[in-house]
Amino acid sequence: MTIRTAVIESHTLLRYGLAQLIEQQPDMELVGEACSGAEATHLVAAQRPDVVTLAVTLPDVDGIALARQLRDRDPELGIVVLTSRGEDDVLFRAMETGASAFVPKTAPTSEVLGAMRHASVAASSFTASGLADAFARQRGAGTRTGLSPRERETLDLLSHGLSVPAIAGRMYVSQSTAKTYVTRLYEKLGASNRAQALMTAVHQGLIHSMAS
């Protein structure tokens, strides 16, 4: 069965390279390309691909947020997130949104193609080559700080000056859930407000600086 694939990538050369790679595969068919979230939404609705490759960074939308929108609309769509940002938090965000695979843009073509083929037959099963290592780092960090991954993410966003509503938006949770994360974080740091929490976090080495 031919895997009907669409490429969503703002970088022209990367988009062209992916398109060429797909067209060279006997079991794949390129059904379209998009360079923005708006174009991608129309493309997926019109062409109904089996798999999309999706960049994290797009000019008009966060790629992870777009992945969530696409997953909500089509549980069977294979979503391969391609990124030049290899941070663990990006990987875990991709996994939480329902992506099928997470692949660095520096990965060998065989890994990229393998992720596409995986996504075509197991859209709801997440795969990433560095997943085991990321979980190990997550467990180690949790042991050292006593903070959950979500609480550490909340701390990072607080340190960059984000409000609770903005944190909710970045983490794709409700405002009440974001407030819960902030409250638990304050409790664990022995703080009663943002300033105290950030000062304690700096002293404990959990963050390096605070937004001015």
Beta-carbon contacts of residue 69 (< 8 Å; ≥ 6 apart)? 41
Strand order of the β-sheet with 51-55 is 28-34, 3-8, 51-55, 78-83, 101-104, 127-128
Q: Which CATH number is 143-203 given? A: 1.10.10.10
Question: What pLDDT score was predicted for residue 40?
Answer: 97
Q: How far apart are CA 191 and CA 20, in angstroms?
A: 54
Residues of the chain with CATH 1.10.10.10: 143-203
Question: What pLDDT score was predicted for residue 208?
Answer: 64
> In this predicted model, which residue has the larger pLDDT, 201 or 211?
201
- pTM of the model as a whole: 0.68
The answer to whether 178 touches 154, Cβ cutoff 8 Å, is yes
Largest CA distance in the chain: 60
Q: Give the model confidence (pLDDT) of 177-199 as tens digits.
A: 899 999 989 888 888 888 888 88
Q: Give the model confidence (pLDDT) of 85-134 as tens digits.
A: 767 778 888 888 889 999 998 999 999 999 999 999 999 898 998 777 77
Distances 156 to 6, 70, 151, 200, 212 between C-alpha atoms, Å:
34, 27, 9, 13, 14
Q: Which CATH number is 3-131 given? A: 3.40.50.2300
